[in-house]
Amino acid sequence: MIEVSEFRKAYDGVLAVDRVDFQVQPGQILGLIGPNGAGKTTTLRALCGLTVPTEGHLSVCGYDIEQQPLEVKKRLAYIPDDPPLFPELTVEQHLAFTASVFSVKNADEKASRLLEMFELSSKRKNRASDLSRGMRQKLALSCSYLHQPEVILLDEPMTGLDPHGIRKLKESLQSRADEGVAVVISSHLLAMVEDICSHVLILKEGQQRFFGTISELKSLFNSESNEATLEQIFFQATATVSSLGINVKKTEAIAL
Ligand code: ATP
């Protein structure tokens, strides 16, 4: 569903992402983790066509992102860490606009259910500029769920959400994955990643340190037992290459 091969991105000659390879199948949730500046947002932006790759091949639902961008955009939702809303439009106008762009059937009914789920029903008539940070995040999530995308990309989606919102988001992502949606979440909240992700991609300074399932990651970094948390493993995986002696691109290539 998502195929990324040998992806590289340089900004003004500075390499932000260097030869990253990963795949996300329907029903999988990939956690994209790494220190600040690792290349997570760059990778997400390349996946939705907002950043042009310097090298490599990226496809979504079988469509090449550079050659068939419209086909990709029809099937994908991207929620950046500070979602760009229209300040003058109300909550319900955002949903109506999204429904119209994506030709959503039964949009009013679906929109009402989403507003209820994210506790935004009482804000239907409020303009986006009058919403709190967390409410803006919930509105962006509602708009993205409305058109039932096959692929959902989220950049730091928990920022600003209250505990109820976090729980609803986790449950809703899990249920969409159960329906066959492919999800990628960039986050520094490692407990959340461990909780809901099936797979993890670890980047550091644009280099791929690991891609595979959470259990493969645990057995790689913790061969004695499987008890280490993702947070403990994260510090090992993002230690300097020279001190650790690894730079794992594919789990099948592991030879420690
Ligand atoms: P964070 O966790 O801080 O959000 P990130 O992993 O999302 O970081 P990116 O935003 O992808 O990291 O940035 C990766 C590298 O690319 C950084 O060194 C950053 O300075 C650089 N970079 C990102 N966007 C641009 C840009 N538009 N122009 C120049 N350099 C950029």
What is the rounded end-to-end Cα distance, in angstroms, of the chain?
A: 30
For the Cβ of 40 lying below 6 angstroms from any atom of ligand 1, the answer is: yes
Scanning the structure block, which residue is given the tokens 């230690």? 239
Task: Provide the pLDDT confidence category of residue 239 given band limits of 50, 70 and 90.
Answer: confident
Q: Is the pLDDT of residue 3 over 60?
A: yes
pLDDT digits (tens, 9 = 90+) for 30-69: 999 999 999 999 999 999 999 999 999 999 999 999 999 9
**What percentage of the chain has pLDDT greater than the value 90?**
80
Do 140 and 157 form a contact (C-beta atoms < 8 A)?
no
Pocket residue to mutate for ligand 1, from 17, 33, 40, most atoms within 8 A of Cβ: 40
**63-64 vs 55-60, strand pairing mode:** antiparallel
Residue nearest to atom 12 of ligand 1 (CA): 37
Domains and CATH numbers, the chain: 1-75+151-161+179-256 (3.40.50.300), 82-148 (no CATH)
For the Cβ of 225 lying below 6 angstroms from any atom of ligand 1, the answer is: no
Q: Is the pLDDT of residue 246 over 70?
A: no
Q: Is 126 helix (H, G, I), strand (E, B) or coil?
A: coil
Residue nearest to atom 16 of ligand 1 (CA): 16
- DSSP string computed for 96-123: HHHHHHTT-TTHHHHHHHHHHHTT-GGG
> How many angstroms does the Cα of residue 96 sit away from the middle of ligand 1?
33
Task: Provide the pLDDT confidence category of residue 254 given band limits of 50, 70 and 90.
Answer: very low
Instruction: For residue 219, count other CB atoms closer than 10 A to its CB.
Output: 16
Task: Work out the burial of residue 166: count CB atoms within 10 Å of its CB; fewer than 13 is exposed, 13-18 middle, 19 or more buried.
Answer: middle
